[in-house]
């Protein structure tokens, strides 16, 4: 992961920038107004921070500034899921994925793709996923120790 982490508020703004391709702070304000009720200055601050983090860039156009994304949405979604998975014991990742699927509305195409992916995953599946935590941050070590005694 090369780019800096972005906050939830910055993510809201980035979604608009990704969807619009090119946008102005006024457009972002109008689009987000219903959902966030942020002041125009807040939007400008958020856009400025995103520029500092090199998530987007800006160029002058007439008397206003155009904002456009520097980082693809796909790459950020990848980082987002990577980040999510570093927050749990690797043995619980299966559970997290299960919950994600459980809580999602999926199309037939999505499900077909998932089924195919799971079939492929079966080829490289392991008996037990190794724990990646430090002792004390999950219960794997406790259980292993008990098993030894």
- Name the site residues for Zn ion (rule: CB under 5 A): 89, 131, 133, 138, 140
Nearest to 39 by CA among 61, 18, 70, 9: 9
Name the residue nearer to Zn ion (CB basis): 20 or 90: 90
**Helical (H) or strand (E) element with 81:** helix 73-85
- Contacts for 113 with CB less than 8 Å, ≥ 6 apart: none
Min CB(140)–Zn ion separation in Å: 4
Two tokens at 78? 């990848």
Min CB(99)–Zn ion separation in Å: 17
| N-to-C CA span, the chain | 41
Name the residue nearer to Zn ion (CB basis): 28 or 92: 92
User: H-type helices in the chain, by residue range?
Assistant: 8-20, 25-36, 40-52, 73-85, 93-102, 108-123, 140-148
Two tokens at 97? 């994925």
Phi, psi of 89 (to 5 degrees): -60, 140
């Amino acid at each position: 992961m090369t780019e800096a982490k972005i906050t939830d508020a910055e993510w809201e703004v980035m979604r608009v920038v990704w969807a619009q391709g090119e946008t102005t702070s006024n457009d972002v304000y109008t689009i987000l107004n219903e959902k966030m009720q942020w002041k125009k200055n807040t939007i400008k601050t958020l856009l400025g921070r995103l520029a500092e983090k090199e998530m987007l860039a800006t160029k002058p156009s007439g008397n206003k500034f155009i904002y456009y994304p520097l980082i693809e949405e796909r790459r950020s979604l990848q980082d987002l899921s990577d980040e999510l998975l570093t927050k749990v014991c690797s043995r619980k990742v299966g559970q997290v994925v299960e919950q994600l699927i459980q809580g999602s509305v999926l199309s037939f195409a999505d499900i077909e793709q998932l089924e195919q992916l799971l079939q492929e995953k079966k080829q490289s599946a392991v008996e037990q996923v190794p724990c990646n935590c430090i002792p004390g941050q999950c219960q794997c070590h406790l259980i292993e120790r008990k098993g030894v005694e």
